[in-house]
Structure 1
Amino acid sequence: MKQLASAALLTAAVLAPSLASATMISGSYDVDLNENDPGLVVNSQDLAANPFSFDLNEGESVTFDLFKIWTDESAVNGDDETAQPISVLFDLTLPEAITGSVNGETVGDTWGLGGFYQEGQLTWNGPLNLVFGDNNDGLITIELSDETFNEGYWWGLYEGLCNGAKVEATITLVREATASVPEPATLALMGMGLLGLGARARRKRQAA
């Protein structure tokens, strides 16, 4: 009887949905930007831990400073007004191995009399959606903030790291992945095992 009860408990544990618990999201990131002419030459410096790690429950988000962006150029020239690509590659190791990039662009902008005011601009195309889980129903989103950096006037930029901008990242665990359900063949084998244990227990009682 004890064997039958143990087997039943094991089956229930396999079939029962897992209890809600925080999901660890861990990974690293790499910023790729325009480091040479033509275009506005920009630099970056990591601000967040790399690799990073957070525990999130379904529906929760965390926002943090990811990296700083700036230019050492002293003025926006003609070639700087042509947008250049920027991307951040995220390489997650937990909850499983997933990779993806957030893509955007940087550009120099001027306005006012003859370009009296000048600045660098950073814009992103949209959030990154990362699907995970055995059933591909878990979802993590990563969104980065648009920023203006090295704003200046008198027909120039206030160049340098200290006049740059901090880019924020928001990671959201939109949806937990559901647990896999045992295949019919597995369920059948477990059922046969339970029946066998039950029959064995009855024979022992009859023999006694």
Structure 2
Amino acid sequence: ELKPSSIARTVVAIRSLYKFLARENGAVDIAREVKPPRIPKRLPKALTLTEITSLIEACGNEGISIRDRAMVELLYASGARVSEIVALDLSDLSRDEELFTLLVKGKGGKERLVPVGRYAREALDNYLVRIRPTIAREKRSSALFLNQRGERLSRQSAWKIVLDAAKRAKIESKVSPHALRHSFATHLLDGGADIRVVQELLGHASVTTTQIYTLVTIDKLRESYALAHPRSR
């Protein structure tokens, strides 16, 4: 049985063919009124808190892995896109005794402030004190996260760090930097955060983009209801 997405691609290809034939040979475009099926929205897959913890622990905490751990902690703690994380400069990080705040530069040059909690703060402190000075050398890069040549860490390298940690942690769920962003949003909503606040933290221009995460939470509520309510079955 074909998936709706496969059927939709086939319909688009057939419509394009008949449109071409109609234009070139004067054939009747019999496929013009054929509509592709609606493709259901894919719900984002959030990692569990146990999986998040396993992923972070799998980064290690010695040598260059201190940087990797700090980056993965920050991806989950901030909900930022991986491209936004590797674009961070040291000057985008401000701190007080309780909290780090990131100035994240999002899509379209739109900036947002994102608070970061204790675990990510401690991991960042460890990286900034123990590792970054040793790999920065004389290059004096402004980038927060550096590769071992003292240059800004690339998006591809950040992806590899996450995937390698997931492999070591033996996590069965699909893991990517974006999965950490999904998890950030889902866990906040599960914890009772206001959707408008989550929208601001994610840097979504419209709350409708953020609302897809509420569907994940509603699914969990339905599942709990079905299992627990005596008259749900």
Pick the TM interval, shorter chain.
under 0.3
Normalising by structure 1, report the TM-score. 0.22
- Greater fraction strand: 1
